[in-house]
Structure 1
């Protein structure tokens, strides 16, 4: 009996129990995990930016943190609306032009002008069921719209929750302090300790990802300017925002850029855009990401690269962003000091 009581009081047992409860929490919340992670990231970024602005302004003037938070959110929302207002019409217009050009090509093609080759192409063209392809395409568009609507709702709720967190940051800290002298004090101490360690690691990863996004946006803007793309400021900002999504963001940006490229100079321009994205993707994946992540986290590049591959395979895009902080968290659990 005494052995069991001693076991309950051991530090290793308490840590293990905390981690089991934490894993159980995330398991039962797996259906809303995307929302939880999105809220965490939005709150972390805006809270860090708010803290940076307030700490610098305090050197010169007396500031009201709540007012600064509201102004910051108004500015962020204004930028998002401005980008969508200027950019979405461009995407819609370019997409419509591509569809119209493809339809006109299909309706006006004359295989007799192709000579012998036309005899082989004609049966292939007559077998094309444009109606079924159109219905299939519409189903994909409807599915995409549903997913986009869900993501937009999650993003909106994440912004609202992050606003409440930033406005009530002091109150939330005071509320958390009440657990220090409660029966949950041990769990609270572990939560604060491991939470701070995870946030420190996550902050380093985010800083590295912002640097990567800036490099991607600059390189892409230079390449697009050489290719004669319009609206470079808008496109550059879009690429910067998408590049905050590790690796996948560069690929996502290929879709709207291809639409615009096709309307500028047809398939030739699309090929140039694809080559540009491939080159930038390689630079990010095989040089910037491992190098910057390793310099921020003090991990060897080899381990950084392996972690990114494994976490990306297990967790997708979230794994690329959270893989290294989670690995650093596990090192803390096992008391492995890397820096």
Structure 2
């Protein structure tokens, strides 16, 4: 009797298990929750994981781009890229880092002097603004901001270790890419292949959304930084290297980065050339932002779900709470990945678009 009950329980459990495995939507939801739980438990390593993924994705994309035009073995390209990165890091630490600290200190002094001793030159508008806003309050807020900045600076050491470790891990991943892929595919065969197939499903979507958006943000940031730095150099702005680094970092933050970087540029521009320079900087930012919105985004962001500005700011605020400063950069790509999983405005693939064009041309013929 007991044996019969045991067999019934076992068969009932197996039936539930088989129905669970057959229900793809429920199964993938559970797998996704398990992955999120594991990542949450490993949240201290999240920066290392994200940086390793970003470096790996960018280097693989660069390698594939070079191999389209020059048939060089991939390991040779990867080795050259990482040697170039290490050389750039060495030059940056030994030569440019002291300059960066000096120019950043000078930039902070410019901002402090602007608020403490503003040169109005009889401008009634600025005098009214000065009477309306308490300078002492602004200075105290800036001091609080400097305190917060100091806390971030103290964490640079640990972030530097994370950066080097992620660079190290991404090098071995990219140098052994074929072996890594073939070994990883072995998980897709076996009694629990459904679990790893679901992980592969989410990983593929993650690469096609998060990876593509991050790559695009880096390209746009480089273009924006180059154009803005050229304009600032023509205007003979001081602390050019420090401003360029600030512009590049802020360009990685969608929408909000333009506003944040405009404040120190406007203040330094006013200290150098008065309201005329502020006007020139505003015009320059509008032109560069228009170029980004109407030229770069349509060409580069064709793989990305466009978000309204309100949603963009909300996602940035929430991501900053969850991921800290990292959230400002990875918040939009992660949200885009979630939209793709939920099926909300699915990501348009370039291949699908090209396929439609070919079909239309064939119909015309």
Deviation at 1:241, TM superposition (A): 5.5
Is 2:152 the partner of 1:144?
Answer: yes
> Aligned residue for 1:110?
none
Deviation at 1:73, TM superposition (A): 0.8
Q: 2:337 aligns with which of 325, 328, 337?
A: 325
Tell me: CA distance 1:76–1:276, structure 2 relative to 1, closer, same or farther (3 Å). Answer: farther
Deviation at 1:232, TM superposition (A): 6.2
Deviation digits for residues 166-220 of structure 1 (CA, Å, limit 9, x no counterpart): 1121221222122122333111111222211221123442354245324522542
Deviation digits for residues 300-319 of structure 1 (CA, Å, limit 9, x no counterpart): x5x55565344223213121
Deviation at 1:20, TM superposition (A): 2.1
SS in 2 for 1:246: coil
Tell me: CA distance 1:262–1:140, structure 2 relative to 1, closer, same or farther (3 Å). Answer: farther
Deviation at 1:28, TM superposition (A): 1.4
> Aligned residue for 1:42?
55
Pairwise mapping of residues 1-339 of structure 1 onto structure 2 (< 5 A)?
1=12, 4-12=16-24, 13-58=26-71, 63=73, 65-83=74-92, 85-86=95-96, 88-93=98-103, 95-96=105-106, 99=109, 139-140=147-148, 142-229=150-237, 239-240=247-248, 242-247=250-255, 249-250=257-258, 253=261, 257=265, 261=269, 264=272, 271=278, 275=282, 279=286, 295-297=302-304, 299=305, 301=306, 303=307, 305=309, 307-316=311-320, 317=328, 318-331=330-343
**In 2, distance between residues paired with 1:156 and 1:310?**
32
8 Å Cα contact 1:73/1:163 also seen in 2: yes
8 Å Cα contact 2:269/2:281 also seen in 1: no
Runs of 5+ in structure 2 lacking a partner?
1-11, 117-133, 321-327, 353-365
TM-score of the aligned structures, taking structure 1 as reference length:
0.69
Runs of 5+ in structure 1 lacking a partner?
107-123
Deviation digits for residues 133-187 of structure 1 (CA, Å, limit 9, x no counterpart): 9997885554232122232222222111111111121221222122122333111
Tell me: CA distance 1:36–1:10, structure 2 relative to 1, closer, same or farther (3 Å). Answer: same
Tell me: CA distance 1:4–1:159, structure 2 relative to 1, closer, same or farther (3 Å). Answer: same
Tell me: CA distance 1:94–1:22, structure 2 relative to 1, closer, same or farther (3 Å). Answer: closer
> Aligned residue for 2:362?
none
**In 2, distance between residues paired with 1:228 and 1:270?**
11
Query: What is the aligned length?
Result: 311
RMSD: 4.5
**In 1, distance between residues paired with 2:282 and 2:347?**
42
> Aligned residue for 2:124?
none
